[in-house]
Amino acid sequence: MTKVTYVCPIFNKKKYLEKVLDSIKKQTGNFQKEYIFIDDGSRDGSLEYLKRKTGKWKNKLILKQKNKGPASATQVGISLATGDYVKLVGGDDVMAPFCTEILLKTITKKKSVAAFSSYKLLEDFNKIKYEESNIKKIKTINNPLLSTVKSSFSGTTPNLYCNKAIKKSDGCNIKIFVEDFSLVLELSQYGSFSFIENITSYGPKNDQDRIMTGKRTQLIHDYNAALFYFFKKNDEVDEFIKKTACIKSLGRADKWYRRIIGKSKFNKMNFYKVLLLLGRKDYVNLIRESCIFFYEFCNKNAIRYTIK
């Protein structure tokens, strides 16, 4: 029988854990389940609550580590996962009961290494209304690396990943803080990606403790850092893909500078874009420069794990 491992990193998420854990436990489908929780140095009683709430769960493992960030915590979990598929779950995300089941049907039907679905933010989890549980419009991308670079495919709770492919790859890059984009980049080398339009999971809206809300600089930087480390390791990748990643990184840093910092003048990222037009080809080095650019203009505490 197919086995799915739920990997849930947790850092100070006690206020969400009741609904998060209930949604994990209520997942429907005919498959074996394994649960791995990693407390990433919580200080709000999350670990104690987690132990109480899951006290009678079978096939469960709870680990504790000093705070290192979601990439480190997630990688610890997936390195121990024994399931055929890995279902990452954010510590503040609630899954529809059919979330795993519908993603499992998608990934096995298309023999993909990753299945992606949609995600919705809500101000009140009590107002969740689960939508259609039948698969909506499967789209599959073969050889998805270029598309991943262009569209920055990522995510945890709305997605399902093939564990065999994760084990072939390096998984999450623990040199950076954010976990999901580096993992998806790695997986894009090992098979197709499939996408469905169903909303399968929900997160809290306007919560400043969420990375996508309260740590935007960290998030944007880490998308560039993930590209830098990936192409530094995989220099043999087609030049067009590396150039696309370089343009994407420079553009991302430029937009951050303009929107987050409030600057609109010509900057170093614009200068590098001009050099690309003139034929410069040291793409990996320029991606690195797009990361270093952040350090010049942001608070030193805004980014954890900088590129040296």
User: Where does the pLDDT of residue 195 fall: very low under 50, low under 70, confident under 90, or very high at 90 and above?
Assistant: very high
Locate 11 and state its tokens: 């850092």
Which residues touch 279 (CB under 8 Å, ≥6 apart)?
none
pLDDT for position 115:
98
pLDDT for position 170:
87
Considering only 18-27, 83-92, 96-105, 257-266, which range has the smallest mean pLDDT? 257-266
pLDDT reading at 208 higher than 90 = no
126 DSSP assignment: G
Contact 201, 121 (CB under 8 A): no
Top-level CATH class of 3-207?
Answer: alpha beta
Percentage above 70 pLDDT, the chain: 99
pLDDT for position 159:
98
pLDDT for position 133:
83
Q: Could you tell me which residue, 201 or 264, shows the higher pLDDT?
A: 201
Domain ranges in the chain are 3-207, 215-297
Report helix, strand or coil for 253: helix
- In whole angstroms, give the CA distance from residue 161 to residue 17: 23
Taken as a whole, the chain contains a residue count of: 308
pLDDT for position 109:
96
pLDDT reading at 105 higher than 80 = yes
pLDDT for position 245:
98
Average pLDDT on 47-75 reads 97
Average pLDDT on 52-64 reads 97
Average pLDDT on 44-69 reads 97
Which residues face 39 on adjacent strands?
A: 10, 64
Q: Could you tell me which residue, 123 or 272, shows the higher pLDDT?
A: 272
User: Where does the pLDDT of residue 211 fall: very low under 50, low under 70, confident under 90, or very high at 90 and above?
Assistant: confident
- In whole angstroms, give the CA distance from residue 237 to residue 61: 38
Angle at 226 between CA 153 and CA 260, to 5 degrees: 80
| pLDDT tens digit sequence for 261-274 | 787 788 999 999 99
Residue 191 zone, left/alpha/beta (φ > 0; ψ -120 to 50; rest)? left
Mean pLDDT of the chain, nearest integer = 95
